[in-house]
Chains A and B, each alone.
Chain A
Amino acid sequence: MAINDKHIDAILETYPAKVKRNRKKHILIKDSAQAHQEIEANTRTIPGIITNRGCAYAGCKGVVLGPIKDMVHITHGPIGCGYYSWLTRRNKAKTPEGGQNFLSYCVSTDMQESDIVFGGEKKLARMIDEVMDIFKPNAVTVSATCPVGLIGDDIGAVAKAAQEKHGIPVLSFNCEGYKGVSQSAGHHIANNGIMDKIIGQGELIETPACYSINFLGEYNIGGDSWEIHRVLEDIGYHVVSVLTGDGSYETIKNAHVADLNLVQCHRSINYIADMLEKKYGTPWLKVNFIGVTSTIESLRNMALYFGDKDLIRRTEEVIARELARIEPVLDQYKKICEGKTAFCFVGGSRGHHYQGLFAELGIETVLAGYEFAHRDDYEGREVIPAIKTDADSKNIPDLHVEPDRKYFKLKLSPEKAEELKKRIPLSNYPGMIANMKDGHIITDDLNHYETEEFIKLLKPDIFASGIKDKFIPQKMGIPSKQLHSYDYSGPYAGFGGAVKFAEDIAMAFTSPTWNFISTPWKDKPLLEGAMQKEGH
């Protein structure tokens, strides 16, 4: 059915007038006849509306810092925040031989009322001492929660003193939950800290192997990163570091030597990608390893960047080998999935990334959006200069970087870079809207009310969601695929991941469970009055 403005208005009608005007700006119907479609994003959440967004602490400690395995991540605050971010993203990590892995630990200063009144700095300092004593980590992070900033605990000073005392890096992050408008603020804060205090601290002066890359914005949910690595290493790439899935302080500190930075999740890591280019002369390439076509395209773009004949040949060999292996399997699943429709509303990049994979299975994504993205994630990076800074974005300062005197090395000549940019998304992300079909809906910061209403309007066959919202479609009789931590499944990335995803999606459609449920609209005859129904 063709969706028009009236349908959207009908959904928004329930809201108070001001809210209606606000939400309208966050919802688009893709129309390629228009030169450019603008969406409002990264603005304040409307209170009371049951958003799916989280806070700055969640973005900083929960998303970006949390997966770094050889650092102990201390939450300075009352117990809840630390507890709620305790390994909940299924970001997997392997303990290297003789190496450290503290991911299964949740460490909090467990602030009490007296700490709020008298300050928590001393407690934090004592706690870092204990952490050193118990874990002997390579490095430590301290993340602030709401009360810390309000009572004025100077965690920077505590961290600095601890660093001098223990001789290991102690990084502090002022990621109080109220900063910014969503977890996106926390990504930025974490990016700044990692750039400032970790990258470039390593002893490597130049890359230890050919075709060396950093993999940015890949969090190894359900082992995604491992499946991608399998292929990258097979082709001949050397992965210097991953930020931050299965990542470590020991590898990230040498990220400055890589020849190329790959960016998977643009939203959470683009600050570092940008700064690495300015500081070390390393360009970044937007990749997408979700879906077969996107994976192939990403691999080919990487090979083009290096422009080495052997690498290009090897890339094609690996692609051919993988395709021969997975295509017959995917074809089987496609028979089940063909012609169906999906909603895809997750996080800050998956809402876009999974559309290709759905399409390969014959499923059209009729509605997509992000929880906490910015306009550039929708409209492409060329809108960045046009994005107005507001009070909320100004609160997270940009880290100013200059070319590094010791390590700056232009990896590409400006001419070569310009030429490549015409062919591959080098230091560029064209955004989600470009990929969507006319008539399909793009929505920012979808909430529970709209979720229900859009389901009623568009009647999708499957809903790709987060954890909190997956139960709404399920209660409405529609299968959901939880793409936050994959419902204990995965990996979904790369060639092998596509097969696993196809299997899970096909299973969602074919489970006999649904035979016992008939969604109201499926019960209605397509032709009114064609035949009298019996037994209902």
Chain B
Amino acid sequence: MERQTGFARNAAENPCNMCMPMGGIIPFKGVEKSMVILHGSQGCATYMRRHMAEHFNEPIDVASSSLNEKGTIYGGEKNLKLGLDNLIKLYNPGVIGILTTCLAETIGEDIDRIASEYLLDRGLNDVSLVTVPVPGYGGSHSEGYWMATRSIIARLSREAPANRRINVIVPHISPADIREIKRILQLMRIEYTIFPDFSDTLDSPFTMPYKKIPIGGTGIEEIAEMSGAAATIQMGVTASREISPGHYLQDTYGVPLYNMPIPIGLENTDKLFAVLKQVTGKDMPESIFSERGRLLDGMVDSHKYNAAGRSAIFGDPELVLAIAGVCRENGITPVVVATGSKSFMAAEAIKSSAAVDVPEQSLLAGTDFARIREHCREKSVNIAIGHSDGRYLTEKEGIPLVRVGFPIHDRMGGQRLLSVGYTGTMTFLDRITNTLLEEKHKNYRHGIFDKFYTGKMA
């Protein structure tokens, strides 16, 4: 697998990833009554809020300690504490994530000390502060997401009596995906703690009156008791051990970990039900079995069109891996599989997955869109699957894009895209198949005309 170090180029030309704090914000949106403050220049918070707001179409309130030049010289402690004061006064959160940025990390701010001093000093015991070191240069948003998820659990969990619940730790999937996983668990009458649960907070129903902190998210008490769960199912095979929340729970509290890919695709969803059976002893409900049958039936119907698909897949490593599986299962050849993440673990996980085992395939880690584009040309890609920034592949190379993942800022409804489970896979696969068909029909008449009447085509 090609990696950044092997590049001749230094330039990141049209990046395929964002920075760590961006990923770090999202899990906090999946905690009940939670807010985030970024310790650094206010531009970080503003930029990230702007991008998240455009994807989720929701107000995204993220505070900043608004450090300026003075703060870079004398330290930003005062600003951070003032920021916390104001945030608490205005929002009254139960949990506050304190995330660092390039600035705070470069000047060496000790946010752990500041946070504990702050709580003591203000005599606060009804708010938890969760610190997460996420310098922008430390990794991509994908690693930031796992870091924050792990930090929240590490900070909020405590020794708890064994309970019957199972932990379900989800990667950065859509709110609709989280809702689908919850539906499956509820249907099976399984007691669970799903975390982070931003299914309502980042896709909130229209209700009056407006709430500054949207309702929803995993309860603080539930997170605290994840330590006593019967098992953890984590959809995070690309997260390295030191940032993996499931591993934290296993190593610290001995909660057995079942680490598996996102249940997108028939095989991956089967895996979920196999794990659920193993953990709870419960079989797949009949209604879900029908959903599986419908997916299979749909795959039979679609395979003849999908066989022509040569896909380029890009985005978060975890999602890329699952999508490659969907493609493989139905005869679409994933000829370019790429992620902007430079995480070694992510690269290794993708590389060792059977889902991407295709001859002459380009596997790109730590890559940018300039490189993805080159490989798309080389490998005659005819369908791109990933987030909105792949739109340049359409503009410059005429390759149609099926939007999935984050961010989707040039279309509506990124937060509502459903891709997990048998039903989700079916709708996702239909989006892919229909894009291929649309492309085929768009060019069909011209193609036939050229072939039989003008002789232009070979």
Binding site for B on A (CB under 8 A): 14-16, 19, 44-58, 77-86, 88, 104-113, 115-116, 123, 126-127, 130-131, 134, 145-147, 149-151, 176-183, 391-392, 395, 448-449, 452, 467-469, 471-472, 475-477, 517, 519-520
Contacts and interface: CB of A to CB of B under 8 A. Distances in A.
Given A55-B42, A467-B54, A79 B210 contact: no
Interface stretch (B82-90, B157-165, B278-286, B417-425): B82-90
Contacts of A49: 63, 83, 86-87, 90
Contact of B11 (A55, A104, A115, A127): A127
B85 A83 contact: no
19 contacts: A48-B37, A48-B90, A53-B42, A55-B42, A55-B43, A78-B102, A83-B17, A88-B50, A109-B11, A127-B11, A147-B103, A147-B136, A147-B137, A150-B72, A177-B41, A178-B71, A468-B49, A471-B53, A472-B210
B10 A50 contact: no
Interface stretch (B18-26, B223-231, B307-315): B18-26
B69 A395 contact: yes
B329 interface: no
Contact of A467 (B15, B50, B84, B87): B50
B83 A475 contact: no
Given A55-B42, A79-B12, A107-B12, 4 more contacts: A15-B90, A77-B136, A448-B61, A468-B50
Nearest to A447: B90
A134 B13 contact: yes
* 4 closest Cβ pairs, A-B complex: A55-B43, A80-B19, A48-B83, A47-B83
B103 to A, nearest CB: 4
A208 B65 CA distance: 51
Nearest to A85: B47
Contacts of B37: 48
A392 B68 contact: yes
Given A80-B22, A130-B11, A476-B210, A48 B85 contact: yes
A293 B6 CA distance: 60
A151 B407 CA distance: 31
B185 to A, nearest CB: 29
Contact of B137 (A55, A58, A112, A181): A112
Nearest to B204: A475
A106 to B, nearest CB: 5
Contact of A104 (B59, B82, B395): B395
B41 A55 contact: yes
Contact of B86 (A48, A56, A107, A391): A48
Interface in B73-129: 79-80, 82-87, 89-90, 101-103, 106-107
A86 B80 CA distance: 29
Interface residues of B, number: 74
B15 A48 contact: no
A50 B62 contact: yes
B441 interface: no
Contacts of A108: 11-12, 15
A150 B107 contact: yes
A81 B22 CA distance: 11
Nearest to A51: B42
A116 B212 CA distance: 37
Nearest to B14: A106
B43 A477 contact: no
Contacts of A48: 37, 63-66, 82-87, 90
B137 A111 contact: yes
A424 B389 CA distance: 46
B45 to A, nearest CB: 8
Given A130-B9, A134-B11, A467-B54, A79 B83 contact: no
Contacts of A147: 102-103, 106, 136-137
Contacts of B71: 178
B57 interface: yes
B67 interface: yes
Contacts of B395: 104
Most buried by A among B42, B82, B106: B42
Contacts of B135: 78, 113, 116
A109 B12 contact: yes
A177 B15 contact: no
Contact of B66 (A51, A58, A183, A517): A51
B58 A471 contact: yes
Nearest to B53: A468
B396 to A, nearest CB: 8
A50 B61 contact: yes
B51 interface: yes
B209 interface: yes
A179 B42 CA distance: 11
Contact of B212 (A115, A123, A449): A449
A106 B13 CA distance: 6
A179 B72 CA distance: 10
Nearest to A519: B208
B86 to A, nearest CB: 4
A512 to B, nearest CB: 15
Given A84-B18, A448-B59, A448-B61, A79 B10 contact: no
A484 to B, nearest CB: 9
A150 B69 CA distance: 10
B16 to A, nearest CB: 9
Contacts of B138: 113
Most buried by B among A50, A182, A183: A50
B15 A16 contact: no
A14 B90 contact: yes
B375 to A, nearest CB: 16
A84 B51 contact: yes
B86 A15 contact: yes
A334 to B, nearest CB: 30
Contacts of A145: 102
Interface in B299-356: 340, 342
Given A150-B103, A177-B41, A82 B10 contact: no
A181 B68 contact: yes
Contact of B103 (A134, A146, A181): A146
A113 B137 contact: yes
Contacts of B44: 55, 80, 177
Interface in B196-221: 204, 206, 208-210, 212
A105 B47 contact: no
Contacts of B59: 448, 468-469, 471-472, 475
Contact of B57 (A57, A83, A471, A477): A471
A116 B69 CA distance: 19
A336 to B, nearest CB: 24
Given A51-B64, A181-B68, A475-B206, A82 B12 contact: yes
B48 interface: yes
B46 interface: yes
A115 B135 CA distance: 13
A467 B56 CA distance: 12
Contact of B106 (A46, A51, A116, A467): A116
Contacts of A79: 12, 15, 17-19, 136, 140, 340
B18 A15 contact: no
Contacts of B372: none
Nearest to B211: A475
B40 interface: yes
B14 A84 contact: no
B276 interface: no
Interface string B135-177: 1111010000000000000000000000000000000000000
Nearest to A478: B210
Given A15-B89, A126-B10, A476-B210, A78 B47 contact: no
Most buried by A among B64, B67, B90: B90
A105 B9 CA distance: 16
B60 interface: yes
B204 to A, nearest CB: 8
A32 to B, nearest CB: 33
B90 A116 contact: no
B273 interface: no
